[in-house]
Amino acid sequence: MGTPLNVLLVEDSPDDAELLELELLRGGFVPVVRRVETGEEMRAALWSDMTWDVVLSDYHLPTFSADAALATLQDSGRDLPFIIMSGVVRAEDAVNLLKRGAHDFLDKASLARLVPAIEREIRDASERAKRREAEERVRVLSLAIEQSPVSVVITDRDGVIGYVNPKFIKTTGYPATESLGRPIDFIHRRDAGEGTYRAMWETLRKGQEWRGEFCNQRRDGQLFWEYATVSPLEDSSGSITNFVAVKEDITARRSYEERLLRQANFDDLTGLPNRLLMLDRLEQGIAVAHRRDALTALLYIDLDRFKNVNDSLGHAAGDSLLKEAARRLNECVREGDTLARMGGDEFVIILPGVDDGVAIQKVADRVVETFVPPFVISGQDHFVTTSIGISLFPSDGTDGQVLLRNAELSMYKAKEQGRGRYHFFTRELNERMQERLKLESQLRGAAGRGELYLDYQPLYDIQAGSVVGMESLVRWNRSPEQRLQPGSFIPLAEEVGLIGEIGDWVVATACRQAVDLFNGRRKDLRVAVNVSPRQLQGPAFGDWVRLKLDETGLAPEQLELEITESVVMDGSPETGMTLRKLCDLGVRLSIDDFGTGYSSLGYLQRYPFDTLKIDRSFVSGAISDPNAARLVETIVTMAHGLGLETVAEGVETAEQLDFLRNCGCDLVQGFLLGRPMPAEDLARRLG
């Protein structure tokens, strides 16, 4: 079977047409030949539905010519091989026609070249058609790239930019002239991870597509983020000729992600790193110390008595105190250290790679000192101290969680030793924590098992020198060999919620024993009972006191409840209600350890106090320190002004006693006059 061939023949001679057809048949074609003689006929044929493969044209026709036929073909828009067949033609005319687009020129007398010429021209035409198609595709594609809403950059195989689209120019601010010839990554910010570039080039060189995010810099210096897809382009032999980068501006998305990241890693109130980020930094610090064979220190910082400010002045005041505390702490650290807020009033400082304990101590000292000046909140001075626990890598733990726990334990130890201190963790503390757990379990139910008892310390009238009452002080026979003072178990009881049980027992016992002691004696004798802030928080305490007064028959004015200063600051309605209930019962209220907190005398007016007990630290200080002496005098004078009776506790020397008498202090209590003693011994003092 031959190749079908549709021939449009411009020819006036039917004989020549027949010869031609024969020649084509011989050449292996199955020709369909349409012969035309005029321009009209030819146009009609070209505009018909017929698919022509080739136009063969005589040079001279009576009313037409190859010249006119070529023009007619070109007018039609069809791209067909146009071959001229002729007798004698002048060389210039032939060349002229070829120049105008004719494809070949054959001698009518020797048609041997006809078939190969047609075959060649058809092949060429089909390639031309393909190229045209490709060109059209390129045109559409380049339009798409030109008008693309994303940046497109095309480079050669060395990454040198050869093309940038308008979006790229708009986004980066670099005109094409400043981009062409430069490396593909010339807008990338250099510090944003060399590793990323290496990874990109490795992937691309392997002929694979690479995707990733880059931080770039605009011509005006502004930073922006792009998500880039970079693809290698290969030629038909498979070698890379170009790279195409398609880049999308993701600055908006990135900044949203960064905000989220920020929220996840930073504390809203202070802007400091939060616990999560702190742990991260701690691991880094440990790694640094490990490499450098150095230490990493963890300082666990807790603000003492922060809760009082928060509860009594409100959260806004608490917040501003925390912010100020964060600001001060920030001044204690150097670059490279981490200050983080753990939540509440707890902060952590990480000192990565420190050389010795002295450097750590310096920071701890600075922290303690930075809290010396008062915090001014709503126009008032508030004194806040800090307790700091310090753990060290590697001696106190080799992983972050352990170091954190140990620093926290040390912080509690610092608190126990008195506020405004720091304490280094040692293994010994761990053992103490174990001991604490044991203590707690044994303390549970101690009152019910009869292991608690009360000692009484006498209270003296400073002028008359006579006993006016006593303070009950609880003790615990933990075992037959071990008798514990309240300092060793009351704080624990408060912490673990056993104070209610113990406190109730104390009230009941003190009332009962006081009735026995006072029986048949002066009516104005009194017993003072210490009450923890926790006990006042529930409504049950007032009822319990009333019940015990009723049961024992002790007169309410013979019972005095000693309440620490912190209660005064704690403006909670529950505490206020309990205090009022107690006051309504006719029970006396005393403010204990006055001067150790930071309440002013003005605060005392909030509650119906009868007595003010000056803390023993002032009493002992008054002799050596003129400031402390003046303070005691002031307290006494002001207390009297407020209608409060004053008691000085911890009187150990005659000198102190003289001083207090001169101040006008009403009552005294202390080792000089009588140690805490069993009820029977006190009975003898009462005479």
Instruction: Report what 46 binds from Ca ion, ligand C2E, none; CB cut-off 5-8 Å by kind.
Output: none
Please say which residue, 337 or 593, places its beta carbon nearer to Ca ion: 593
CB of 603 to ligand C2E, least distance (A): 19
Residue that is written with structure tokens 């600001």 in the block: 327
For residue 180, the cross-strand partners are none
Closest CB 295 distance from Ca ion, rounded Å: 41
469 makes contact with ligand C2E (CB under 6 A) = no
Among the residue ranges 77-85, 145-153, 484-492, 603-611, the one whose residues contact ligand C2E (CB under 6 A): 484-492
- The answer to whether 559 and 529 have CB atoms below 8 angstroms apart is yes
**Cα distance between the two ends of the chain:** 146
Minimum distance from residue 616 beta carbon to Ca ion (Å): 7
Number of residues that bind ligand C2E (CB under 6 A): 24
| Type of residue found at 107 | D
Amino acid at 2: G
Q: Which stretch binds Ca ion (CB under 5 A): 143-151, 482-490, 560-568, 676-684?
A: 560-568
Q: How far is CA 481 from CA 54, 92, 211, in A?
A: 124, 136, 75
Q: In a 10 Å sphere around its CB, with 0-12 CB exposed, 13-18 middle and 19+ buried, how is residue 115 labelled? A: middle
When asked if residue 676 is in the footprint of ligand C2E (CB under 6 A), the reply is: yes
Of ligand C2E, Ca ion, none, which one sits near residue 542, judging by CB under 5 to 8 A according to partner kind? Answer: none
Tokens 């980068």 map to which residue?
245
By the rule CB under 6 A, 486 interacts with ligand C2E: yes
Burial class (CB in 10 A: 0-12, 13-18, 19+), 489: buried
Residue numbers 575-604 binding Ca ion by CB under 5 A: 592-593
Closest distance to ligand C2E from the beta carbon of 619 (Å): 8
Q: Whole-angstrom Cα distance, residue 651 to residue 191?
A: 69
CB 502 → ligand C2E: shortest distance, Å? 7
- Matching residue, tokens 């209660």: 567
Residue 620 exposure: Cα atoms within 13 Å on the Cβ side: 8
560: contact with Ca ion by CB under 5 A: no
Residue 407 near residue 298, CB atoms below 8 Å: yes
**From candidates 325, 377, 484, 506, binder to ligand C2E by CB under 6 A:** 506
Residue 676 interacting partner from ligand C2E, Ca ion, none (CB closer than 5 to 8 Å by kind): ligand C2E
Beta strands, E only, 409-513:
422-424, 452-461, 467-477, 483-484
Dist. CA 417–CA 431, nearest whole Å? 17
How far is it, in rounded angstroms, from Cα 164 to Cα 245?
Answer: 10
- Give the shortest CB-594-to-Ca ion separation in angstroms: 8
Among 593, 594, 597, 639, binds ligand C2E (CB under 6 A): 593
Pairing of the two strands 526-531 and 559-564:
parallel
- 8 Å CB contact between 299 and 389: yes
Of 71-79, 161-169, 375-383, 666-674: span binding ligand C2E (CB under 6 A): 666-674
Indicate the residue among 397 and 670 with the shorter CB distance to ligand C2E.
Answer: 670
> Is residue 389 near ligand C2E by the rule CB under 6 A?
no
Q: List, in order, residues 6 or more apart from 355 with CB less than 8 Å away.
A: 294, 295
CA pair distance 315, 207, nearest whole angstrom: 61
Q: Which of 457, 509, 599, 646 binds ligand C2E (CB under 6 A)?
A: 457
Secondary structure letter of residue 89 according to DSSP: -
Piece in contact with Ca ion (CB under 5 A), picked from 22-30, 272-280, 558-566, 571-579: 558-566
Residues 610-649 interacting with ligand C2E (rule: CB under 6 A)? 616, 649
Considering only residues 53, 408, 562, 565, which one is a binding residue for Ca ion as defined by CB under 5 A?
Answer: 562
The strand pair at 161-164 and 54-58 is best described as unpaired
Please tell me whether residue 490 binds ligand C2E under the rule CB under 6 A.
yes
DSSP label of 554: -
- Shortest distance, CB of residue 367 to ligand C2E, whole angstroms? 28
Tell which one of 86, 410, 530, 532 touches Ca ion (CB under 5 A).
530
Distance in Å, CB of 656 to ligand C2E, minimum: 9
HEC letters along 160-184 = EEEEECHHHHHHHCCCHHHHCCCEC
597 near ligand C2E, rule: CB under 6 A: no
Point out which span in 283-291, 389-397, 436-444, 486-494 binds ligand C2E (CB under 6 A).
486-494
E strand or H helix that includes residue 10: strand 3-10
**Of residues 342 and 474, the one with the C-beta less far from ligand C2E:** 474
* CA–CA gap between residue 172 and residue 190 (Å, rounded): 16
Would you say how long the chain is, in residues? Answer: 687
296 binds, among ligand C2E, Ca ion, none (CB under 5 to 8 A by kind): none
Residue 486 binding result from ligand C2E, Ca ion, none, given CB thresholds of 5 to 8 Å by partner type: ligand C2E
Residue type, position 652, single letter: E
User: Nearest approach, Cβ of 339 to ligand C2E (angstroms)?
Assistant: 35
Shortest Cβ distance from residue 457 to ligand C2E (Å)?
5
Residues 631-670 that bind Ca ion (CB under 5 A): 649
Binding ligand C2E (rule: CB under 6 A), the pick from 485, 600, 634, 637 is: 485
CA dist 33 and 372 (Å) reads 112
Interacting partner of 651 out of Ca ion, ligand C2E, none (Cβ under 5 to 8 A depending on kind)? ligand C2E
User: Which residues face 9 on adjacent strands?
Assistant: 35, 56
Q: Of 520-549, which residues contact ligand C2E (CB under 6 A)?
A: 530-532
Strands, sheet with 338-343, edge to edge from the N-terminal-most edge strand: 338-343, 346-354, 295-303, 386-393, 422-424
Cα(529)–Cα(67) distance, rounded to whole angstroms? 130
CB of 669 to Ca ion, least distance (A): 9
Is 487 a residue that touches ligand C2E (CB under 6 A)? yes
**Binding of ligand C2E at residue 24 (CB under 6 A)?**
no
C-beta of 27 vs 503, nearer to ligand C2E: 503
Of the two residues 570 and 649, which places its CB atom closer to Ca ion in the complex?
649
In the complex, minimum distance from the CB of residue 471 to ligand C2E, in angstroms, rounded to a whole number:
6
- Residue 503 in the binding site for ligand C2E (CB under 6 A): yes
Rg (CA), the chain: 51
Q: Please identify, using beta-carbon distances, which residue of 256 and 671 lies nearer to Ca ion.
A: 671
From the list 456, 560, 449, the residue with the least C-alpha distance to 505 is 449
Q: Which of 452, 457, 546, 528 lies closest to 493, judged by CA?
A: 452
Segment lying near Ca ion (by CB under 5 A), choices 35-43, 156-164, 236-244, 557-565: 557-565
Sites of contact with Ca ion (CB under 5 A):
530, 562, 592-593, 649
Kindly list the residues in this chain that would bind ligand C2E in the complex (CB under 6 A).
Answer: 457, 473-474, 485-487, 490, 503, 506, 530-532, 562, 592-593, 616, 649-652, 669-671, 676
